[in-house]
Amino acid sequence: MTWPAVYRLMALIMAVLAVCSALALPRVAQPPARVRDASRGPIRQDLAGFLAVLAAVALGVFLTQRVGGPIAGGLLSPWFGNAVAKGSLQAKWIDLLALLLGLAVTLPLAGFAARRARFQTLLAGLDSYFSQPRAWAFLAFIVFYKLTDAFQLSLLTPFLLKGMAFGPAEVGVVNKLIGLLLTVFGALLGGLVMLRLRLAWSLLVFGLLQMSSSLAFWWLAVHGKGVLPGWTIPAFDFGFVKLLHPTQVDGGLLMAVGCENLASGMGTAAFLPSLVLLWRLWRPIDALDVRPGTP
């Protein structure tokens, strides 16, 4: 089965499960007619607000594609005058600056559209969150705690295929299949460790482990392939994924991917409970210093 077929199968399974969930929902008692009539106004207003925000985002995307690119190219052209970077690398910098300019235009435009359309569901939710103390600090924590993992994930496959010249089958088996299993195991291991550690300490320790796990890929880049003994994975067919031929797996690759996925799973095990405790945001910061299961 090819990867496009796998993704189509996963999408079909998700759609079927969504339909089953909708059909299995218990029937909700109908409110009185006067209550339904009173709720139609806010529903229409929220729908109009959603469409207004959607139109603002579409306009922002259009401006980013049509206007942001030329502006970014003009701003960066003096820097590219004596640069040795290739054209493809220059295009990536232009795209990045155009994206940032587009966000700087699209986000205020969407906010203006929401206020003009009185999209109270969105506005009230944002006001409720940002009125809490340390709201920006908690938002920064949510973004930066997993930001390095996101960057590493986007660079990992090109690094392994192009930088280290590993085979596609070897990278696919280790990075996708074994890596997924190790991530699940890391989450379970992190949950067990959190039975002994407070949440704040778990976030700190697992965050340091996530940061340190990147050194495994530095070690792999410095020492190269073949330093650690590898092993051969036999061919298999699990239906949704299969390996046609036995594949030799490098020990260094397995070590690096294993360290990264174990640490990522442990970090996720501590990160998700911290989101559940978002309602404690207005309390002192030691409110996060609780043991799992504490009310």
Please check whether residue 253 lies inside any domain of the structure. Answer: yes
What global pTM score does this model have? 0.67
260's enclosing H/E stretch is helix 251-276
Total number of domains constituting the chain: 2
User: Are 109 and 238 in a shared domain?
Assistant: no
Supply the range of the domain harboring residue 92: 40-131
Please check whether residue 20 lies inside any domain of the structure. Answer: no
The pLDDT score that the predictor gives to residue 259 is 92
pLDDT by residue (tens digit) across 70-127? 898 888 888 776 665 566 778 888 888 999 999 999 999 999 999 998 888 888 888 8
What are residue 4's phi and psi, to 5 degrees?
-60, -40
The pLDDT score that the predictor gives to residue 289 is 46
Paired residues of 232 in beta bridges = 248
Mapped onto helix, strand or coil, the DSSP state of residue 236 is strand
User: Are 46 and 159 in a shared domain?
Assistant: no
User: Are 203 and 274 in a shared domain?
Assistant: yes
6: pLDDT strictly greater than 80: no
The pLDDT score that the predictor gives to residue 165 is 87
User: Are 171 and 229 in a shared domain?
Assistant: yes
Q: Are strands 247-249 and 231-233 parallel, antiparallel or unpaired?
A: antiparallel
User: Are 146 and 171 in a shared domain?
Assistant: yes
Q: Which residues of 104-133 are buried (b: 16+ CB within 10 A; e: fewer)?
A: ebbeebbbebbeebebeebeeeeeeeeeee
* Boundary (domain end) residue, out of 77, 104, 131: 131
Please check whether residue 87 lies inside any domain of the structure. Answer: yes
- pLDDT band at residue 280 under the 50/70/90 scheme: low
* Boundary (domain end) residue, out of 92, 110, 131: 131
pLDDT by residue (tens digit) across 17-33? 989 988 887 776 666 65
User: Are 105 and 162 in a shared domain?
Assistant: no
pLDDT by residue (tens digit) across 183-202? 999 999 999 999 888 888 99
